Amino acid sequence: MKISKVFFLVILVALTTCSGGSAVREKSVPRETGPPSTLQSPGAHVDVTQIASLAKGHVGASAVVLETGETVASLNAQDHFPMQSVYKLPISMAVMKQVDAGKINLDQKVAVTKGDFVRVGQYSPIRDRNPNGTEITVSELLRFAISESDGTASDVLMKLAGGRIPVQMYVTDLAVTDMIVLNTERELGQDWQVQYRNSATPEAAIALLRALHEKRGLSESSQALLLKYMIESTPGTKRIKGLLPTGTIVAHKTGTSGTEKGITAATNDIGIITLPNGKHLAIAVFVSDSPADEATREGVIAKIAKAAWDAVSGKQ
């Protein structure tokens, strides 16, 4: 069911006025209460339940062949998960829409001040290399946000797009429901619980990737630039790409939280895999509230991606 613009504005206002910046969700809560295997969509080719169990947390996954609509894998695909830096992709797409409209120029320089910096401990090469601030082009901000997952770059891009409401409206206009872009990276760094407010379902992530693939809301040149930066992304080499054949083209965006009291809130990766036959497999895997170490969490993502790859490549 498509959610109206008014509905999302109500959500944004309600969440913004929560007292003390408290979170909407204490942790990622399943939408249904049955065992994970009961939540798989009919016709899914791969049962990833056992792989997901290795994380000992809440895992959601969806994998779909974009050209055919064939569902390859689905687990907890309608549950909400904290996106963390995955949300830098819809923010960047919203900026590119304004580039296409002539409101923003990729070559224009934007001031990045100390007030824009995310806190120490949050990843930001821009802050680390320019402690007194700098000016940087929109194109480079996009590269830092997508390819390097720079939190400062993401916040400056959100401001450039007009703030969270225009970004959310862009997502809604793409008919991507169940994805909420609400807070800045600085806000995420100030309160552990805030990350749960910026959530998406695996199905919503696939819908966003499909919109990108189909150039909905984006020109061909804008799509090409974003895909280039996603392919060149340096974080998460052991996630979706981890077990795929060397040379496989993967355009992806990761998301990672810190760890508190032994629990990691988010280890995510969403992306588009180019298959040997030229078709494209969109995949989204969210690993939330997990006590497992990083190698295990990333291994779950890699194994789910490989299982989906094998199924559609006829190797299973």
Query: For 91-131, what is each residue's pLDDT tens digit?
Result: 999 999 999 999 999 999 999 999 999 999 999 999 999 99
Mean pLDDT over residues 199-221, rounded? 97
Mean pLDDT over residues 71-78, rounded? 97
Query: Which of 21-35, 166-180, 278-292 shows the lowest per-residue confidence on average (mean pLDDT)?
Result: 21-35
Of 102, 93, 223, which Cα lies nearest the Cα of 170?
93
- Residues known to be catalytic: 85, 185
pTM above 0.75, yes or no: yes
Query: Which of 23-27, 66-70, 225-229 shows the lowest per-residue confidence on average (mean pLDDT)?
Result: 23-27
Q: Tell me: pLDDT of 291 over 70.
A: yes
**Tally of CB atoms within 10 A around 256:** 23
Q: In the chain, what is the straight-line distance between the N-terminal and C-terminal CA atoms, in Å? A: 35
Q: What pLDDT score was predicted for residue 34?
A: 36
Q: Residue 21: pLDDT band by 50, 70, 90 thresholds?
A: very low
Q: Tell me: pLDDT of 222 over 80.
A: yes
